[in-house]
Amino acid sequence: MPTPLSLHLGTLLKMVSVKTEIAQDTLLIGIGASPGIAIGQPFQVDRVRMVTVERRLAREEVAGEVDSFLEAVQLSKQQLEEVKAAVSDAEMAEHLYIIDTHLLILEDQMLVDDTVALVRDELINAEGALKRTLDKFRQVFDRIEDEYLRDRRTDIDSIGERLMRNLMGQTQQSLCDIDRKAIVVAHDLSPADTMQMNRDKIIGFVTDVGGRTSHTAILARSMGIPAVIGMETISTIVPRGTLMIIDGSSGMVILNPTEETLQAYQEKKAAYEKRQTEYLSFTDLLAETIDGHRVVLRGNVELADEVPLAQRYGAEGVGLFRSEFLFLNRPVPPSEEEQVQGYRAVVEAMAPHSVTIRTLDLGGDKFVPEINLADELNPAMGLRAVRFSLKERRLFKAQLRAILRASAFGQVRMMFPMISGIAEIRDCKAILAEAQKELTEEGAPFDAQMPIGIMIEIPSAAIVADMLASEVDFFSVGTNDLIQYLLAVDRGNEHVAYLYEPLHPAVLRALRSICQAARDAGIPVSMCGEMAADPFYSQVLLGLGFNELSMNPPDVPRVKQILRQTTCQQAELLLEKLLLLKTASEVSRYLEREMASRFPDIFGTPFS
Ligand code: PEP
Ligand code: MG
């Protein structure tokens, strides 16, 4: 008998997981990839990496090995075509491109030719040759700095695994086989696995690996399946039959919950689902007050993949596309062409609604070391956003050209961040005019009427909003920064977070004068800071006269719900009262009482 110490760690883990009852309320933390709560038993999916053996071939074995490999490629293609054909759901159909990507990888000459060459020239068996080729692919992906592109390595992993299984004659466990409601627990899941998930049976999933931008995570969000990923070892430690709770919003997984925890989560789940159903029933309803006043609710989006989510929650376009996300974590900035493709994807997906593309807002808390932003003592007040663009004119003009070119494919609005006054907007417009002239000379199509707007997020811009209004087609208020600069409170510093008060009388007055300036000039005014997403403030923003609000897509229905139960007159009266109060806490208390009495289900019982 081996002593426990001499046991292999894996065996030990298995013994612990099989024989030992897992402690009650065992809490594990991962990455919340898709919100929602699932309570159930695990269904372990065996996606453990296969053990491949490399061996040297005799000359006469070569032809047979090459044939086996090419057959495995064919079989893998056939299987993926079958997954494609079986997807009937219109919502999922838009994700078929992922399967197409996998099919393309199978057609990649490097993958096929390199493997065959290793078999033929180096006399390596097909398994070993395929492993070497896949390792080479993975190394290339691992060197990519861009998180989104690096996450595409999972596509190589999943197609590599399928190919290897087919080559080794192993059948792949299919998620279609699950015959009871369960939470899938796996080391990893491929997008093809996720697409096959039957939403009646698979109530959630947890995986050891994965990033928020992996295709699997994106699919989970768009399918509305709660998921927690990046849990490192969960696939090895959940015993069969364990009751588990997963909370895809917080990224928490609780194993073997006590009665008390279970009940608390059952209530949380019921409340979440009730809210979701109520919210989705708002999707097709207009964001309109009882007295017929329309407010356009749009989504804040960083990547094209988020557009389906925005549509699902009823966003009427993208009110803030943070273009800097195309520039982050990569060695060199994207070319003009690459940017056109990135913007065009969002614009076409969002049609017929408009997409407001904000030009680069680098700097502040968004660093791109590769773009040589100097170390600054006070980056929030330093060379960021449009100040940086106006210094790096070539980069800026390439972006303006790309946005203009994307405007040929749908409704595009362009917006400049961190404008502090008239001089800056005129400078921006001068470079825009050069870009338009160049494109006209080149015969490249663009929308010559594309609306041009600015973010109002610096106090000086708020103060001269009346002057700025005559220079632009719309305003969008960035409260995240406006509050930070108005109150001199670093938005990322937890020590002064208590001073970050959206209801500070100075903030309310600034918002009122911005809205007044827009109204006087007859231009629309939007808000795209986080304040727009919190339904607690919706009546205040309506009272102030915002025509548009842009927010994270899942917040759209919550805000719509409040607007639909309010009249403009109520909101204006409320605002008048709030504007008379002298401190942020007085304003806040007044609003809490008001919201709790008008919306007791949402904001609780009235405060004393
Ligand atoms: C804002 O400042 O409110 C805003 C929307 O921009 P960001 O959060 O990207 O600075
Ligand atoms: Mg900002």
Catalytic position from the list 215, 353, 428, 515: 215
Q: What residues contact residue 60 under an 8 Å CB cut-off, 6+ apart?
A: none
Pocket test for ligand 1, best of 302, 321, 322, 475 (most atoms within 8 A of CB): 322
Look at residue 550 and tell me whether its pLDDT is greater than 60.
Answer: yes
- Cβ–ligand 1 distance for 322 under 6 Å, the answer yes
Long-range contact list for 273-277, CB < 8 A, 24+ apart? 273/36, 276/36, 276/224
Contact of 83 with 196, CB cutoff 8 Å: yes
pLDDT > 90 fraction of the chain, expressed in percent and rounded: 54
Q: Cα 480–483–489 angle (5° rounding)?
A: 100
Our answer on whether the CB atom of 361 is closer than 6 Å to any ligand 1 atom is yes
Return the DSSP state at 200: T
Q: pLDDT: is 11 or 454 the higher one? A: 454
Residue 106 vs residue 155, higher pLDDT = 106
Of the listed ranges 232-236, 388-392, 445-449, the one predicted with least confidence: 232-236
Distance 488 CA to ligand 1 centre (A): 16
Pairing of strands 252-255, 244-247: antiparallel
What local confidence, expressed as pLDDT, does residue 537 receive? 97
pLDDT at residue 19 in the model = 40
Whether the bond into 191 is cis, omega within 30 of 0 = no
User: Please, which residues bridge with residue 346 across strands?
Assistant: none
- Stretch 21-46: mean pLDDT: 88
528 included as an active-site residue? yes
For 5-42+184-192+199-211+225-270, CATH number out of 3.30.390.10, 3.30.360.10, 3.40.50.1110, 3.50.30.10 equals 3.50.30.10
Is residue 226 predicted with pLDDT exceeding 80?
yes
Which-ligand-closest: CA of 529? 1
* Cα angle 340, 346, 352; round to 5: 115
Return the domain boundaries, the chain.
5-42+184-192+199-211+225-270, 59-167, 281-603
Domain 281-603, CATH homologous superfamily name and number: Phosphoenolpyruvate-binding domains (3.20.20.60)
Q: How far apart are CA 481 and CA 380, in angstroms?
A: 9
Write out the two tokens for 268: 């949380």
Q: Are 376 and 382 spatial neighbours (Cβ–Cβ below 8 Å)?
A: yes
Is the separation of the CB atoms in 362 and 368 below 8 Å?
A: yes
Arithmetic mean of pLDDT, 513-533: 96
Ligand 2 center to residue 326 CA distance, Å?
A: 17
Question: Has residue 369 got a pLDDT over 60?
Answer: no
**Confidence band for 222, pLDDT divided at 50, 70 and 90:** low
Tokens of 423: 């001089």
Confidence (pLDDT) at 277: 82
Selection from 573, 571, 409, 541 nearest residue 476 by Cα: 541
Q: Which pLDDT does position 306 carry in this prediction? A: 81
Lowest mean pLDDT among 98-102, 400-404, 439-443: 98-102
Q: Is 193 helix (H, G, I), strand (E, B) or coil?
A: helix
Distance of CA 479 from the midpoint of ligand 1 (Å): 7
Would you say how long the chain is, in residues? 608
DSSP SS3 for 26: strand
Whose CA is closest to 503, among 589, 584, 578?
584
- The pLDDT-based confidence of 93 (bands split at 50, 70, 90) is low
pLDDT at 606: 41
- Spacing, Cα 569 to ligand 1 middle (Å): 30
Residue 242 clears pLDDT 80, i.e. is over it = yes
Looking at per-residue confidence, does 117 or 212 come out higher? 117
Hey, do 59-167 and 281-603 end up sharing a CATH topology, with the first three levels equal? no
Higher pLDDT, 549 or 235: 549
CATH class of 59-167: mainly alpha
Q: Which atom of ligand 1 is found nearest the CA of 530?
A: 3
Round to whole Å and give the CA distance between 274 and 261: 20
Q: Which of 95, 504, 515, 528 is catalytic?
A: 528
Question: 229: buried, middle or exposed (CB in 10 Å: 19+, 13-18, 0-12)?
Answer: buried
Rank 74-78, 93-97, 306-310 by mean pLDDT and report only the highest: 74-78
437: CB partners within 8 A, 6+ apart: none
Q: What is the mean pLDDT of residues 54-67?
A: 90
Q: Is 480 in the pocket of ligand 1 (CB under 6 A)?
A: yes
For the Cβ of 595 lying below 6 angstroms from any atom of ligand 1, the answer is: no
Measured by CA distance, the residue closest to atom 8 of ligand 1 is 480
pLDDT of 3 above 60: no
Burial class (CB in 10 A: 0-12, 13-18, 19+), 231: buried
Which ligand is nearest the CA of 365, by number? 1
| C-beta of 529 in contact with ligand 1 (< 6 A) | yes
**Contact, 535 vs 516, CB < 8 A?**
no
Kindly tell me if the per-residue pLDDT of 288 is higher than 80: yes
Ligand 1 within 6 A of 478 CB? yes
Residue 246's alpha-carbon distances to 184, 251, 253, in angstroms, are 11, 8, 4
Q: Which atom of ligand 1 is nearest to the CA of 479?
A: 3
What's the CA dihedral at 262, 263, 266, 270 to 10 degrees?
-170
Q: Residue 139 class from Cβ within 10 Å (0-12 exposed, 13-18 middle, 19+ buried)?
A: exposed
Task: Please tell me the predicted confidence (pLDDT) of residue 35.
Answer: 85
Query: Residue 108 has what pLDDT?
Result: 81
Average pLDDT over residues 102-113: 85
The residue to mutate among 455, 456, 477, 514, having the most atoms of ligand 1 within 8 angstroms of its beta carbon, is 455
Hey, how many other C-beta atoms are within 10 angstroms of the C-beta on 80?
19
At position 579, the amino acid (one-letter code) is: L
Cβ of 457 closer than 6 Å to ligand 1, yes or no, is yes
Q: Is residue 109 within 8 Å of 47, Cβ to Cβ?
A: no
Least confident residue range of 14-28, 75-89, 332-346, 372-386: 14-28
36: left (phi over 0), alpha (psi -120 to 50) or beta: left
pLDDT at residue 89 in the model? 63
Average pLDDT of 77-96? 74
Q: What is the pLDDT of residues 325-355, one digit of tens each?
A: 788 656 678 999 999 999 999 999 999 999 9
Each residue of 152-191: pLDDT tens digit? 777 787 788 888 888 887 766 667 767 789 999 988 887 7
Those residues whose C-beta lies under 8 Å from the C-beta of residue 495, and which sit 6 or more positions away, are: none
353 included as an active-site residue: no
pLDDT band at 215 (very low <50, low <70, confident <90, very high): low
Closest atom of ligand 1 to 300 CA is 5
Residue nearest to atom 1 of ligand 1 (CA): 478
Q: pTM here? A: 0.66
* Structure token digits, residue 478: 């960035």
- Pairwise pLDDT comparison (325 vs 356), residue with the higher score: 356
Mean pLDDT of 515-521: 98
Tell me the average pLDDT of the chain: 86
Residue 13: is its pLDDT beyond 50? no
Does residue 300 line the site of ligand 1, with CB under 6 A?
no
Predicted confidence (pLDDT) at residue 10 exceeds the cutoff of 70: no
Average pLDDT over residues 561-568: 95
Rounded to whole angstroms, the Cα distance separating 65 from 393 reads 57
Share of the chain above pLDDT 70, in %: 87
**Closest ligand to Cα 479:** 1
Is 528 a pocket residue for ligand 1 (Cβ < 6 Å)?
yes
Amino acid occupying residue 210: G
Measure 533 CA to ligand 1 centroid, in angstroms: 12
Distance CA 450, CA 444 (A): 15
Q: Which of the four pLDDT bands, split at 50, 70 and 90, describes residue 316? A: very high
Q: Would you state the pLDDT for residue 176? A: 72
C-alpha pair distances (Å), 313 with each of 33, 82, 183, 281, 503: 17, 31, 25, 10, 27
Q: How far is CA 387 from CA 247, 382, 393, 421, 556, in A?
A: 42, 8, 10, 12, 32
Residue 205's nearest CA partner among 222, 188, 306, 263 is 188
For 458-509, what is each residue's pLDDT tens digit?
Answer: 999 999 999 999 999 999 999 999 999 999 988 766 677 788 899 999 999 9
Beta strands in 260-411 (DSSP E): 296-301, 318-322, 355-358
